[in-house]
Amino acid sequence: MNVSIEPSVRITARGLTRRFGDFTAVDAISFDVAQGEIFGFLGANGAGKTTAIRMLTGLLTPTAGEASVAGFDVYTETDRIKRNIGYMSQRFSLYEDLTVRENIAFYGGIYGLSGTAISDRSAALLDRLGLGHVGGHRIGSLPLGWKQKLAFSVAVLHDPRIVFLDEPTGGVDPITRRQFWDLIYDAADAGVTVFVTTHYMDEAEYCDRVSVMVDGRIEAIGTPAELKDRWGGASMDEVFVLLARGAA
Amino acid sequence: MVAIENIHKTFGLTTALSGVRFEVAEGELFGLIGPDGAGKTTLFRILVTLLVPDRGTATVDDLDVVRDVRALRRRLGYMPGRFSLYPDLTVEENLTFFASVFGTTAAANYDWIRPIYEQLEPFRHRRAGALSGGMKQKLALSCALVHRPRVLVLDEPTTGVDAVSRAEFWENLAVMKDSGVTILVSTPYMDEARRCDRVALLQNGSILEVDRPAEIERRFERRLFGIRARGRRALLEALREHPQAHSVFRFGDSIHFAAAGADLRPELLGTYLEERGFHEADVALIEPGIEDVFMERMQRV
């Protein structure tokens, strides 16, 4: 297993495949994501996105193919992958019954940060989000938009090189959704590689590059402008529907 | 067909709904548009008699949601936000079960549900839990329809669903609307507003607007510019520093700039950007969409 890659390439997949019995959920996908890039991983429900993300985050062993994440192998170095990535999804984020500060301390502890590092970063994080006044509030009492911004900040608390965001903005109001993308840009500007899924096709346009997965395969990959050009769509929404409908 | 009058509902210290009022005419496809936490589910639960309002009244088909619970339920079809069918029963068994709850059979109502259900028939012996997301939704819609309700209440049927399945779901709703059912549907996706006859925009338990989507868009009173140019963050920040910037937001592959004054022209904005090093910016006056209006109203509250 020797995928030779540029140091600036943060995620590499070559023929990455996962089968469940007779069913091929992910069918030989290949792509690279560079450091600091915002990569949109699009696909219809059931296209295989979640299975692919589980392999890339070290939670599921591939059936075939090669992949490395942050320079670590998805077969043999899953523990090191987990330590070097951040992860957040719409469903799994923070503990509702813990306060904001308790959540930060809890995740900081899991990621192995020291007590002083946690309290320093906690203060800086709350300051940056303008949420210092709710540090002692239970997460459950906060609006969804605040929770999602906090969840993102907690996911990058340990300075991971890559962050995986699985539908991070589902159901969030339109202003907060855009503020969330400011956080994503901040992280990318600081060199963090962002791997993001979304059902909002306007958000696909905010990515540096996107891939569209259909029935386990990557049917298209490129910048949003390239894809619109190639498939003759006015928007990523049109391109997506064109590609995904072609599958049926 | 549906009349909601000054509904208030609080849960402990949280105000879920404050003074919501609107009416829905027979045969209308009415959308309740708002983000999570706006109060959409609470309002729908009151309408389908699962929650009692603190204040205010609501009627469906002239029946009161508090007093006439039993009579009302027969006339309502309700699809909750969470998948609520029996995963261990097959497609056909789920349908039979929901029909029997209302004292009818799937066979007696087959013609009525056929436009939706026939898409599922090849899978009628499959367990509901093993269906794809889009198929589950079609089954949930079939089950909500099987007793021929006069009013359908659908709570976020398209949340978390991909763009293709969303489009199909709205096509199915259009079919049901043609057969005369009154439909209330909630969604956090602003772009789905255009599929409705009328919509209510809901935020923090209050109605921001109720009208036909085109009318709501027409009421956006600012000059709105769409800008395309190279430079992601820097472009956004440069535009926010413009003296006439009222609000500046990303919108897909462009930026929407709502002007504070009435005299700004595309050429002036183009020159402004040119002077700041953004060359060949494409600036045009554009028509606002529902999302522009929603954000404008949110900022005013």
User: Which of A171, A202, A224 is opposite residue B188, by nearest beta carbon?
Assistant: A171
Residue A144's pLDDT is what? 81
Q: What is the mean pLDDT of residues B23-48?
A: 95
Residue A92's pLDDT is what? 63
Q: What is the pLDDT of residues B193-212, one digit of tens each?
A: 999 999 999 999 999 999 99
Q: Would you place residue B301 in the very low, low, confident or very high pLDDT band (cuts 50, 70, 90)?
A: low
Residue B110's pLDDT is what? 92
- Say yes or no for a CB contact (<8 Å) between A241 and B167: yes
Q: Can you tell me the ipTM of this complex?
A: 0.83
CB-based contact, A22 to chain B, within 8 Å = no
Nearest chain B residue (CA) to A145: B36
User: Which of A202, A225, A236 is opposite residue B251, by nearest beta carbon?
Assistant: A202
Nearest chain A residue (CA) to B253: A205
H or E segment to which residue A166 belongs: strand A162-166
Q: Which long-range contacts (CB under 8 A, 24 or more apart) does A100-106 make?
A: A100/A126, A100/A131, A100/A134, A100/A135, A100/A136, A100/A137, A100/A139, A100/A142, A100/A150, A101/A126, A101/A135, A101/A136, A103/A139, A103/A150, A103/A154, A104/A154, A104/A157
- Chain A residues 135-154 with CB within 8 Å of chain B: 143-145
- Say yes or no for a CB contact (<8 Å) between A171 and B35: yes
Residue A248's pLDDT is what? 47
Please, is B107 exposed, middle or buried when counting C-beta atoms within 10 Å of its C-beta (0-12, 13-18, 19+)?
exposed
Q: Would you place residue B161 in the very low, low, confident or very high pLDDT band (cuts 50, 70, 90)?
A: confident
Is-contact A195 A39, C-beta < 8 A?
yes
Report d(CA A238, CA A228) in Å as an integer: 8
pTM: 0.87
- Say yes or no for a CB contact (<8 Å) between A199 and B299: no
Distance between A44 CA and the closest CA of chain B, angstroms: 5
Per residue of chain A (248 residues), what is the pLDDT tens digit?
444 445 577 999 999 999 999 999 999 999 999 999 999 999 988 889 999 999 999 999 999 999 999 999 999 999 999 989 999 987 667 899 999 999 999 999 988 899 999 999 999 999 988 888 999 999 988 888 888 889 999 999 999 999 999 989 888 889 989 999 999 999 999 999 999 999 888 999 999 999 999 999 999 999 999 999 999 999 999 999 899 887 54
From chain A, the residues in CB contact with B160 under 8 A are 45, 90, 167, 170, 199
Tell whether the model's pLDDT for residue B125 goes beyond 90: yes
Q: What is the mean pLDDT of residues B32-58?
A: 94
- Chain A residues 153-182 with CB within 8 Å of chain B: 167, 170-176, 178, 181
Nearest chain B residue (CA) to A186: B233
Which residue reads 């079939």 in tokens?
B142
Distance between B202 CA and the closest CA of chain A, angstroms: 11
